[in-house]
Amino acid sequence: NNLIFSVFTHFHNVLPPGPLLDVVVDRYDIPKVCPREVEIEDFVRYHFNGTFFEDGKKFDSSYDRGKAFISQVGLGRLIAGMDRGLLGMCVNERRRVTVPPHLAYGSIGTGGIIPPDAVLVYDVLLLDIWNEKDKVEIRTLDKPASCRRTTAASDFVRYHYNGTLLSGELFDSSYSRNATYDTYLGQGDLIKGMDEGLLGMCIGERRLIIVPPFLAYGENGYGTMIPPQATLVFEVLIVDVFNPKDDVIVEAKEVPKGCTRTTVTGDYIRYHYNGTFQDGTLFDSSYQRNSTYNTYIGMGYVIQGMDKALQGLCIGEKRRVVIPPHLAYGEKGVGDFIPGSAVLVFDIHVIDFHNPKDPVNIKVTHKPQECNMRSEADDLIQYRYNCSLMDGTLLYTSDQYDSLSITTLGANNVILGLEEGLRGMCVGERREVVIPPHFGHGENEAGGVPRSAVLFFELELVELQKGVPEGYMFVWVGDGPDPLFPAMDLDGDKQVPLEEFSVFIRLQVQGGKGRLRPGIDADSIIKDMFDNQDRNKDGKIVEDELTVTEDDVSKQARDEL
């Protein structure tokens, strides 16, 4: 019963002389790769043309019927010659099987189609092989170096695939639709073989999954693309996986030392982020826009998972946040931007945060031993400063200018937080001042300061000149001379010209009894004061010109700025 394989070329189909004793097989087209050969008890699916050896006339053809022939080999379900002629055959192999009458339909023939003692020639193309003992075959094509999680029953997976028959014919592809196939595992939503073959996969892993027909679509096939009893081959790439029970996963990447405050519900936060899918594909980035994402925490302004993940953060902290779709954008996704049922991965870096109720925070870092005067409203001060964001980015510094910064406190020349930080300082004192945006530049950008930015100032008071109230050019420190005119009339001649008036005022300032408005030329102030008192404009002040009503005193002592 040994099978004789007589191999001839496609062009020289020559049989041995004399009557055929056994099947003659001409393997005229053999694939280079043959992972499996037909064995006894295997099922096969093949196309064929059947002709008579004598005249080449066709008596049967699966091609004409438009349907491949399916049978089991070696158990008598085929004519004996075909049972022998199909053994050892590879998928996509073409062979010509010549069958003598005693291994075909013998001296009787069949049904008026096959005459007695006919030698039959079958031109066969093998399309599929499987066995009832077959299992799902899995071949790993590529696997990422790190794999934090593998797929399990009840997980929801998103994957790309190419689906082919065992012969290599493509029947479906998610790539051609530019959309992943999304489904639950282990819940009967897939064919049994795929449910099994997708288990234990990592995100980014590629597998070849070979599914025998009885674990695929079986005898019925599927539509016009998958014939009955077809072995299916899926090349799969896992893009995403999550479980409906998953919560937000937070992984701290970098936590600054000395963190004394963390974010809570109601805080307003500014952070940078890169948003990717689990396969590493970037879908959004604040860095690309060169602008932080700004929002309130725990108040529903961001997706639910991010609201949770933004709790307990320090300024400067970096963390990775993995958000399952039921805490992100769900089954619908966001247009072409985020697919349905996508797990989102955010790498975030906290720039700053504050609470709308935050005050200006002042920390004295150096205080001189002697402190005779403290800065207050109306004082003219000179100070050094560095202004930075909370991540250390320097915005401005007084060192970049030729002179120190000068301002009059209470004149609305600086932001409210800086005004507060500069009050109550001694000359030589240094401070660190944290200014929330509602005491800074608010929600508006201002000269390089981002919207809603918390500002960090390092301050040093260099010079302090005590000031006078708004609208005044000169004030008495304590009570002035009474009566006033004799004190002004230094030479006792009953009249006070400008020069004498100037000497008198300067003596009061030098003696600490009076104060001129700082930051304005003293000669100009004194001249204005003199002109206000010299009512008749004769170039001198006499005692009668000082005898005026209280209202007039206010008007004379004041000068419009």
| 171 belongs to the catalytic site | yes
Distance CA 102, CA 118 (A): 9
Q: Which of 447, 547, 459, 538 is nearest to 497 (CA)?
A: 538
| 234 belongs to the catalytic site | yes
- From the candidates 28, 117, 191, 391, which is the catalytic residue? 191
| 55 belongs to the catalytic site | no
Phi and psi of 386, rounded to 5°? -120, 135
Q: Which of 463, 455, 352, 354 is nearest to 403 (CA)?
A: 463
Q: Half-sphere exposure (CA, 13 Å, Cβ side) for 103?
A: 23
| 161 belongs to the catalytic site | yes
- From the candidates 48, 156, 159, 217, which is the catalytic residue? 217
Q: How many whole angstroms from its chain centre is CA 549? A: 74
Burial of 354 (C-beta count, 10 Å sphere; 0-12/13-18/19+): buried
- From the candidates 46, 105, 234, 296, which is the catalytic residue? 234
Task: Region of 428 please: left (phi>0), alpha (psi -120 to 50) or beta.
Answer: left
Q: How many whole angstroms from its chain centre is CA 527? A: 67
Distance CA 278, CA 292 (A): 23
- From the candidates 60, 117, 172, 347, which is the catalytic residue? 172
- From the candidates 28, 52, 171, 396, which is the catalytic residue? 171
Tokens found for residue 325: 């779709």
| 396 belongs to the catalytic site | no
- C-beta separation of 346 from 273 below 8 A: yes
Helix (H) or strand (E) holding 177: helix 174-177
Q: How many whole angstroms from its chain centre is CA 70? A: 52
Distance CA 557, CA 156 (A): 83
Measured N-to-C along each axis, helices 498-510 and 522-533 cross at an angle, to the nearest 10 degrees, of 120
For the chain, the C-alpha Rg in angstroms (whole number) is 48
- C-beta separation of 55 from 41 below 8 A: no
- C-beta separation of 554 from 474 below 8 A: no
| 303 belongs to the catalytic site | no
Q: Is 400 helix (H, G, I), strand (E, B) or coil?
A: helix
Active site residues: 161, 171-172, 191, 217, 234
